[in-house]
Amino acid sequence: MDAPEVEEEEGRRWDPTTLTAVVVGAGPTGALAAHYLAMRGYKVEVYDKGARPSPGDAASVPLVLTSRGAIAFEELGLDGQRRVGPTATPLRGVWDMVGRRLRPLDSSSAFRRTFVTDRSGLAADVIRAAEQRYPNTVRFHFNTELTRAELKNRVAGARPSTSEPADAADVNASAEIDVPYDLLVGADGLESTVRRILKAKVKDFGVIRPVEETAGYRAVSRLPRPSREPLTGFYTHRPQEYVYDWSAPGKPSVRLYIDIDGSVGGLVSGLRRWDDAAAAAAELQAAYPDSFPEEWAAAVGQQVSSPALGEPRHAAILQCSQFYGPRTVLLGDAAHAVTGASGPMGLGQGPSAAVESVRTLALVLRGAQDDLDKVPEVYSNVRGDAVMAMQMLEFMELTRDSERARRLKFASWWFAWSAFVTQGFRWLAETVGGLLSAVMPKTFLSAPQVLARLEDRRIGYSEVIKMLQGYASPVVALLLGAIFVGLFMAFNRALA
């Protein structure tokens, strides 16, 4: 079903057609937010410090979107969008390329369907659709960076971010311009400027990165066709059908997929040398001599060692005390990044959560009838619980694998200790759940079965955490009770 051109509601006190939203960032989150806001009638100005996204560009990374994230794209009814949704090929599984085994993924219903695609290609599709549908109300300004925001006066500052002429006609090559807004939307990713402004100007606004992966990673794209297939029938697989995973303890890992144009790309992480093409290629060849094609190792080496790329990126969990400020909201990675460790098969949590935040904002705008004095705080509160539960699960998953845990950098001893406690909690939930589900399989689920329920977009993160707590908490309460009774008896005996 096509989305309405502009949403109409009776009796609005705040009229979106008189309001301007400034969206910072035109990644998947910002592009989607611009589309939703225009659909509600807002005038939308989007600023991105990078170039207009296009499939396979320098900012491309493979994104995995579970049905939780995919629904946002489906709802917009974007006909030209072939990457995520009913006309795209759902992910059928992950090939373990070392053990030559397929780990299938349940894509049996729309509630469980997962897609793998290219970040920039997806953003490009949504931007194009927004420009076509709302030519008079949405404007994208590329190579233009947001540098400041005066939260009281509701004026942001933007200036060209490169020596290239900016797309925006109103930003000349040297000047910074004032951009008035009614709502400021920070969809500017992990290193968000909007978040930095909120941290500097909003009392009690806190940001932490409790844990970061020390192994860096980089995207690769358009790998050449190798002389031998990495897997029998590899080139008969449909685009987006599988993810191909090379990983082993202590070795670099590679995750590839076939994009909709038939090209092969993906992500490489944990290389020892990023600055030397031959060394990187040799490391991959030595790690996976039988399964990783020589031509790909050479191409990956060339791509990841390009001096233009700067430092490899490190995945991190990012937590904010709130996702709002005066007339300002944070969306996507700017608000709550995760590492991608959690979730069924360890896929899709980050980008899905990123676009989920746009949907939450859209629902709150509608529910609060665009009362922009209320929307930011309500959005933040509504989003808060789901994000906290998601990040707890992420933390639990991330520290579970001891090999992976060794490559983590905790922000302080407190987080390292809480990772240890979290593992204890998980162990209890697994043991109790395992016992109960073995004895009464129809009544109880095991912990992995509980976690697998997250594949279904109707199941919330908070529900899953509560189910696991239901297994672990009684045991913790019993243990604490036993300690208390023991101490009490010992005390009594001492007094006697």
Ligand X SMILES: Cc1cc2nc3c(=O)[nH]c(=O)nc-3n(C[C@H](O)[C@H](O)[C@H](O)COP(=O)(O)OP(=O)(O)OC[C@H]3O[C@@H](n4cnc5c(N)ncnc54)[C@H](O)[C@@H]3O)c2cc1C
Stretch that binds ligand X, among 47-55, 318-326, 419-427, 472-480 (CB under 6 A): 47-55
Site for ligand X in 265-284 (CB under 6 A): 267
Sign of the Cα torsion 237, 240, 241, 247 reads positive
**Of 305 and 437, CB closest to ligand X:** 305
Pick one of 41, 55, 160, 189: the residue that binds ligand X (CB under 6 A): 189
User: Between the CA of residue 73 and those of 2, 65, 113, 276, 451, what are the distances in Å?
Assistant: 12, 10, 13, 39, 25
Stretch that binds ligand X, among 296-304, 346-354, 381-389, 441-449 (CB under 6 A): 346-354
Asked if 193 touches ligand X (CB under 6 A), the answer is: yes
**Of 61 and 454, CB closest to ligand X:** 61
Asked if 146 touches ligand X (CB under 6 A), the answer is: yes
Burial of 400 (C-beta count, 10 Å sphere; 0-12/13-18/19+): middle
Asked if 43 touches ligand X (CB under 6 A), the answer is: no
Pick one of 84, 166, 187, 211: the residue that binds ligand X (CB under 6 A): 187
Q: Terminus-to-terminus CA distance in the chain, angstroms?
A: 79
Asked if 344 touches ligand X (CB under 6 A), the answer is: no
How many residues interact with ligand X (rule CB under 6 A)? 31
CA-to-CA distance for 186 and 25, rounded, in angstroms? 7
Stretch that binds ligand X, among 186-194, 206-214, 294-302, 464-472 (CB under 6 A): 186-194
**Of 217 and 444, CB closest to ligand X:** 217
Q: How far is the CB of 189 from ligand X (least distance, A)?
A: 3
User: Between the CA of residue 113 and those of 89, 101, 105, 360, 370, what are the distances in Å?
Assistant: 9, 21, 9, 20, 32
Residues 6+ apart with CB under 8 A from 496: none
Asked if 213 touches ligand X (CB under 6 A), the answer is: no
Asked if 198 touches ligand X (CB under 6 A), the answer is: no
Helix (H) / strand (E) element for 138: namely: strand 138-141
Stretch that binds ligand X, among 61-69, 91-99, 290-298, 479-487 (CB under 6 A): 61-69
Asked if 140 touches ligand X (CB under 6 A), the answer is: no
Stretch that binds ligand X, among 20-28, 109-117, 300-308, 411-419 (CB under 6 A): 20-28
Residues 6+ apart with CB under 8 A from 332: 25, 27, 28, 29, 30, 187, 189, 354, 355, 357, 358
The encoded tokens of residue 264 equal 């092969």
User: Between the CA of residue 134 and those of 75, 130, 331, what are the distances in Å?
Assistant: 17, 6, 22
Sign of the Cα torsion 8, 13, 17, 23 reads negative
**Interface contacts to ligand X, rule CB under 6 A:** 24-30, 47-50, 61, 63-64, 119, 145-146, 187-189, 193, 219, 267, 313, 332-334, 340, 350-351, 354
